[in-house]
Structure 1
Amino acid sequence: MKNLFRRILAVYSLLALSAFTPPPGKITVYLIGDSTMSIKQVKAYPETGWGMPFAYFFDETVTVDNRAQNGRSTRTFIEEKRWQPVADKLQEGDYVFIQFGHNDEVPTKKSYTTEPEFKANLIRFITESRAKKATPVLITPVARRKFDAAGKIEETHTVYSELVRTVAADYKTPLIDLDKQSQQLLQQVGVENSKLLFLQLAPDEHPNYPEGKDDNTHFNELGARRMAEIVLANIKSLKLELADRIVKPEIVK
C-alpha cells in the first residue's frame, strides 16, 4: 500500500512540475536606425519617431532601448561608435531591430553609404547580434509621403529597400517590409488625409514651428503610432517569441 501511495505521489509531482512554466526572463529590444525611428527632443515636438510609441507595447519583461539617431546611416552609426556599445551589451534572448536607408541612399549627404557597404553593414549587425545569441530583425526604410499627379504613392527607396530584402533572404533573417506596408497605408488614406500622419503644420500652428512645416518624411504622434502598429503586427505574424510579451488588453467586466 505504501509503495502504491509513493507511486501516485511521484506521478502527481511530475505532473505538477510539467505544468509549471517559469516566467520569461527579462530582455532588451534595441532599436538602431535613423530619425524616423528615433526619440525626439521636446523642441522638435510634435515630430515623433515610431520607436517612441513602440516602447509602450510590451509588458514589464521587455525594455526597449532606442538608440536610433537623426541623420544616421549604417556607416555613420558604426563610425560614430554607436553600434559597438549595443553589440557589447547584447544578451541571449535580446532583439535588435535594424532600420536604415533614408540617409544611406542619398549621394549628396555626408552619410551616404554605397550599396556594397550598406549590405556589408547590415550583415555585420546580423552576425554580431547572433554571436551574442540575440535576434536581429531587418526593417526596410519607412516610406516618404510622395504621390504622383494621379494620386498614386511613389516608391522612394527602391534600391535600398531591395538590398534589405536581399540580405534578409540570404541570411534567413526576420524581415519587416515597412517600406511596402507604409506605402499601402498612405495609399489607403490618400493624398490629403496622409498629411495628418506627418509633420505638416501651418504657420503659428505650433510654437516650435512658428513658420510652419511641410515635412513628408517625419511623423507626428499619430503617424508614429500607425507605423509602430505596423511593426507590432509583423512581430505577431512572424511569430517571434517577442509577440508573447505584448501587453494584453484588459477585459472590462
Structure 2
Amino acid sequence: MSLTRRQVTVAALAAVPLAFAATGTAHAAHRQRTLHIAGDSTAAQKYADAAPETGWGMAIPFFLNQGLTVANHAVNGRSSKSFVDEGRLDVVLGLIKPGDFLLVQFAHNDEKSDDPTRYTEPWTTYQDYLRLYIEGARSKGARPVLATPVERRRFDADGNAVPTHGEYPAAMRALAAQERVALLDIEALSLALWQRLGVEETKVYFNWTATEQDNTHFNPPGAIAVARLVARELLRTRVLAPRDVIRLDDGIPTSWITWPEASSASVA
C-alpha cells in the first residue's frame, strides 16, 4: 500500500512529540533531544480498540529522563522495505533534528516471503534498506541505532526458548559492525529472558487473553520488560549517558500503560 501526500502529512503531524508542541519555540525544540522509533507492531503505539496489546515503544518513556522525548513512528505490519516504500522514512527524516536518535527495529515482516511488498532477503535487500535509515539519520545530524528484532514466544518440546528470526539478526549485527552503528541485541536478550521465565510465565508477558493466544505481541508486563532491555542496551552501548536513563532497577506499574482512543491522525 502506498500513502497519498495527505496521508503522509497526517502521519507526520501525528508523530510530532507532544513536548515539542508544548514549547512553542524553535529554541526549545532544538534543546529537546528526541528518540525516534522506526519499527513494526512489536514496538508500535496501540489504541483502545487493541488493549491489552502493548508495543514496547509505549513503555520506553518510563525509562528515559525528561531531556529525551520519544516519537514512536512504528506501525503494525511494516517491514524495513514497506516502511520506506510507503514514505514513512521520509516523514521521520523530515522531523529529525541534529542530536536526535533514530532507533530501527525490523524483521518480523521482512520474513514474509509470500508478500513482495514486505519481503527482504537477510544478506542483501534487508541490509540495503537498513542502510537507508542509517544514511538518512546521519544526513540529518542524528545518530542511527539498530535493534535486532525482539523474539517471539516459542518453546521446543523440552521447554527451551527457540529463535524464530532466521538469519535476520545475524545480518543486522554484521551491518552494524560494518557501518559502525550502535547495536542493541534485543533478539538475544529477549530470547534469554523468555528462557528464564519459562513456558507458563511468558504467557503473562505476551498478549494471551481469554479469546487470543498471541505469541508475538505483548501485554503491559512484556512491553515494560522489553523496553527495559532497550533502555539497558542504550546505556551499555553509550548511545545514552547514565543521566539519560532512569528506573532501570525499579518496578514499573502496569497501570502506567494507557491506550488512547484512535484519532483521525493515526494512519495504519
Report what 2:203 is aligned to.
195
What are the equivalent positions in structure 2 for 1:129-168 lying under 5 Å apart? 129-168=137-176
1:31-110 aligned at under 5 Å gives the runs 31-109=37-115, 110=117
Name the structure, 1 or 2, with higher relative contact order (CA <8 Å, separation 6+).
Answer: 2
Q: Is the 8 A contact 1:235 1:243 kept in 2?
A: no
Shift of residue 53, structure 1, vs aligned partner: 0.8
Q: 1:152: how far off?
A: 0.7
Give the corresponding residue for 1:221: 220
- 1:125 matched to 2:160: no
Alignment of 1:173 with 2:177, yes or no, is no
Deviation at 1:125, TM superposition (A): 0.6
Normalized against structure 1, the TM-score is what?
0.82
| 8 A contact 1:94–1:134 mirrored in 2 | yes
| Structure 1: 5+ residue stretches without partners | 1-23, 203-211
Report how many aligned residue pairs link the two structures.
217
Match of 2:19 in 1: none
* 1:54-100 deviations in Å (ceiling 9; x for gaps): 02322332110000000000111011110001112221110000000
CA distance in 2, matches of 1:173, 1:36: 22
CA deviation string 1:201-220 (max 9, x = no partner): 12xxxxxxxxx001000000
Between the aligned partners of 1:146 and 1:55, the Cα distance in structure 2 is: 28
Partner of 1:238: 237
Aligned match for 2:120, one of 113, 117, 130 = 113
What is the CA–CA distance in structure 2 between the aligned matches of 1:88 and 1:169, rounded to whole Å? 27
2:118 alignment partner AA: S
Shift of 1:111: 1.8
* Contact 2:235 2:245 (C-alpha < 8 Å) held by counterparts: no
In 2, the alpha carbon distance for the partners of 1:117 and 1:236 equals: 30
In structure 1, distance between residues paired with 2:231 and 2:65: 13
Using the TM superposition, give the Cα deviation of residue 242 of structure 1 relative to its aligned residue in structure 2, in angstroms: 5.0
For 1:236, the aligned partner's letter is L
Following TM superposition, by how much is the alpha carbon of 1:248 offset from its aligned partner in structure 2, in angstroms?
Answer: 6.5
Q: Which moved more, 1:174-183 or 1:233-242?
A: 233-242
SS in structure 1 at match of 2:76: coil
Identity of aligned residues (%): 37
TM-score (norm 2): 0.78
Separation in structure 2 between the aligned mates of residue 140 and residue 248 of structure 1, nearest angstrom: 23
> Higher Cα Rg: structure 1 or 2?
1
> What is the Cα-based RMSD across aligned positions, in Å?
1.5
User: Is there any run of 5+ residues in structure 2 with no aligned partner, and where?
Assistant: 1-29, 249-268
1:27 and 2:26 equivalent? Answer: no
> How far, CA to CA, are the matches of 2:139 and 2:244 in structure 1?
23
